[in-house]
Copies of this chain bind each other. A is one copy, B any other.
Amino acid sequence: MLLKVRRLYIEAGGKPIVLLNKEDADDIGVRALGRVKIVTTEGRELTSVVNVTYRAVERGIIGVYDEVASKLKLEDGSLVDVRLSEPPRSIYFVREKLKGKKLTYPEIYEIVRDVVDGRLTEVEISAFVTALQTFGLDLDEATSLSKAMVEVGETLDLGDVFVVDKHSIGGVPGDKTSLLAVPTIAASGLTIPKTSSRAITSAAGTADRAEVFMPVNLDLEEIKSVVKKTGGCLVWGGALHLSPADDIFVQVEYPLAIDPLLLPSIMSKKKAVNAKILVIDIPTGRGTKVKTIGEANALAKDFIELGRRLGIQTSCAITYGEQPIGYAVGPALEAKEALETLMGSNKALDLLNKAANVAGALFQMAGIGDFNTALQLIRSSKSEKKLRDIIAAQGGNPDIKPEDIPIGDRTYDVKAESDGMALWIDNGRLIEVARAAGAPKDKGAGILLNKKIGDRVERGDILFTIYAESSIKLQTAIELIEERSFIGVGKSMDMLIQFVHEVPVYGRRFELER
């Protein structure tokens, strides 16, 4: 059917979508969310997903969203031939997965490619991800997915350089380990092109923290130049298209709070930067993604085996995750704490220990040292110097001092109401409060802990301080704390924490960050 183009001047999130009048759609024989093949007079072709309208476009008109207009070079009034298109072959593979079948590499490749090219609808992608979640995926499928996700994405080509990498599966607030580990690893002479995510549901992502010091939104060429100069970088990976399929899958996983693609998602991005050795940090315990050491071990084995299949020598660090790392939560507070620690502060010993463990594990795999080597690089200010080199190369101020970092000037101290000991910290609630105070968007907002688990507390002691950039947000955070705090103080012989009368069923929080 020959139709006249009307541009809608709306983006459809990268998906090729057109809008047809209901009558035309009926004549073509296509339903809403069905597909049509569009052919221009110049012979350009595109398969698009159909939205149907009774009034927004009349008969004879095809409304085109920006993606279709730009791919087919269409203007208002262009004529296009529109006909029913067969569903893509990949939909049959999705349906097979829905029956619990194991998929082969060519099948998975076709699904992943069609996801990236917009040929599968949200309904179909959601069904695929849900089926992966409910049936699980085995290591063969995880390998296929990792490879396919690399295949359809960009890669960082650093030539013959031996590349190493580190990654945390996340879930612990205040985890600024990369800000210390990356310069330490680079200071050893290894090459670590570290890409990170921004916070989605947390109070800060590594990219948010690094952005306090320097621009992080670099393209692949810029990254190459920084890494060649310094051996490392700390950049945002979100716009690099290292794994564009994952960027789409995560849009589905996020509302569903499921993450069946955890392994392929991480490993494909590491493969895309051509990492040869890799340490994965698995924070474990209440309030993290992995609750028990048994689970952590099983996950570690899968990472190691998947790494082997992809040619990445992988080891995993199972780390304690039941309270924040260090004392600071929120981009600027964390950046400051990281810099102070690199400059010799001994306050955040857990942070120092974790960074040295992660870097040390890579040193052992590379045969150039261990935990003590890493600690020595930090203690001798070599890590600090390397961080400043990276800051300079990425366009930040290499001479920045901790006190130069702007922190929110609206503050509120929360004090202990009784004597005892800090018994527990609720990570999820802590994140809620930090976000209410403005983190991660307000970089100076967040929480500075004064007590951590095991610390002696006397009535009137400051437990923590809330920082905000606006009074309204500070007030919102205070209200949350008045409703329920996130630090539990008690005497360890007082076994009863509280009686529960109403069960808060819907209070669960999910973290999903890559």
Measured CB to CB, the residues of A under 8 A from B are: 8-13, 19, 26-27, 29, 31-34, 51-56, 63, 66, 87, 89, 91-92, 94-95, 98, 100, 121-127, 129-131, 133-135, 200, 251-252, 254-258, 435, 441, 505-506, 508
Question: B124–A127 contact, CB under 8 A?
Answer: no
Question: B55–A123 contact, CB under 8 A?
Answer: no
Question: B54–A11 contact, CB under 8 A?
Answer: yes
Question: A32–B10 contact, CB under 8 A?
Answer: no
- Chain B residues contacting A100 (CB-CB under 8 Å) are 134
Take A27-B441, A506-B89 as given contacts and tell me if A252 and B123 are in contact as well, using a CB distance cutoff of 8 Å: yes
Question: B92–A123 contact, CB under 8 A?
Answer: no
Question: Closest 5 interchain pairs by CB?
Answer: A126-B126, A130-B130, A134-B134, A127-B130, A10-B56
- Chain B residues contacting A123 (CB-CB under 8 Å) are 122-123, 125-126, 251-252, 255-256
Selected from B9, B55, B94, B506, the residue in CB contact (under 8 A) with A256 is B94
Question: A441–B26 contact, CB under 8 A?
Answer: yes
Take A122-B126, A127-B130, A127-B256 as given contacts and tell me if A11 and B53 are in contact as well, using a CB distance cutoff of 8 Å: yes
- Chain B residues contacting A251 (CB-CB under 8 Å) are 31-33, 123
Q: Whose C-beta in chain B lies nearest to the C-beta of A257? A: B95
- Chain B residues contacting A441 (CB-CB under 8 Å) are 26-27, 29
Q: A31-B200, A91-B255, A92-B505 are in contact. List 9 more A-B contacts (CB 8 A).
A: A9-B56, A26-B441, A31-B254, A32-B251, A55-B66, A123-B251, A123-B256, A126-B130, A127-B130
Question: B508–A92 contact, CB under 8 A?
Answer: yes
Question: A27 vs B505: C-alpha distance in the bound complex, in angstroms?
Answer: 29
- Chain B residues contacting A95 (CB-CB under 8 Å) are 256-258
Q: Whose C-beta in chain B lies nearest to the C-beta of A260? A: B98
Least CB distance from A103 to B in Å reads 13
- Chain B residues contacting A11 (CB-CB under 8 Å) are 53-56
Question: A34 vs B256: C-alpha distance in the bound complex, in angstroms?
Answer: 11
Q: Whose C-beta in chain B lies nearest to the C-beta of A9? A: B56
